[in-house]
Amino acid sequence: MKSEDEQKPPLSMAEITRREFVTTAGVITGGLACGVPVGARQLNLVGAASVAEVAELTGTGSVPLGLTVNGQEHRVNIDPRVTLLDLLREHLKLTGTKKGCDHGQCGACTVLANARRINSCLSLAVVHEGEQIVTIEGLARGDELHPMQAAFIEYDGFQCGYCTPGQICSAVALLDEAQRGDASVVTADLPKAGPSELNVEEVRERMSGNICRCGAYPGIVQAVQFVSRKSAGRNSGNGAGDAAV
């Protein structure tokens, strides 16, 4: 005798609501992960004819991915559940980007995706198809350090160095954001035009997503301010004008 699921006529995709699709896809994914049998009706809801197709839809196969990292194009086949962080470290062997908390809380994994800073541990690699990714290895030009890298050395913006790659990538993006006039939660007045002023409070707030367990924050703030002034043509020379932190 046919089961209740088998007796019901198959649904067309036009009859499936968005809510039903999302709910059912979640049930299928969880069921497959836990080894729970999935009924024929649930398979039909996502337009799949077999468990193999559902497995592919839910990311248990491999997919092709193309992206540019530090100016070099890469084509890889990866599990769609692989994060950008693990792609960089495990597949491309770019170990400068660090895995700290792996929960998006410490910022050690910060990289630039299309010039925007992101936590690579929280971002699936497949989301970045065709994008330009820059890691700490891609900031320098040969033996010439990026100004932010040089400033971190000059102002002792690190101790153990584990969080430093993420700190520097975040600081580089911070300067671009400030140059555009992007405001933070501590910005007193929204700038009408031109760059935002990077005082101590602004730098601290804008870098708050990057944790330094060694407590090298004073040097980090001074390094960011120095590069900001230098890029704006207001370099104070020896840095004596830096605000106390």
Q: Work out the end-to-end distance of the chain between its first and last CA atoms, rounded to an integer number of angstroms.
A: 77
Collapsing DSSP to helix, strand or coil, 79 comes out as: coil
The ranges assigned to domains in the chain are: 4-57, 63-138, 147-231
Instruction: Give the residue carrying structure tokens 């501590």.
Output: 186
What is the per-residue pLDDT for 31? 55
Strand partners, 113: 116, 133
Q: Which CATH number fits domain 147-231: 1.10.150.120, 3.30.465.10, 3.40.50.1480, 3.40.50.720?
A: 1.10.150.120
CA distances from 219 to 29, 73, 110 (A): 47, 35, 19
Cα–Cα distance for residue pair 135/147, rounded to 1 Å: 15
Average confidence (pLDDT) over 98-121: 97
Sorting pLDDT into bands at 50, 70 and 90, what band is 227?
Answer: very high
Mean pLDDT of the chain: 81
For residues 18 and 46, the answer to whether their CB atoms sit within 8 Å is no
- pTM beyond 0.75, yes or no: no
CATH 3.30.390.50 holds for 63-138: no
Predicted confidence (pLDDT) per residue in 146-202, tens digit: 999 999 999 999 999 999 999 999 999 999 999 998 989 998 877 666 788 899 999
For residues 27 and 44, the answer to whether their CB atoms sit within 8 Å is no
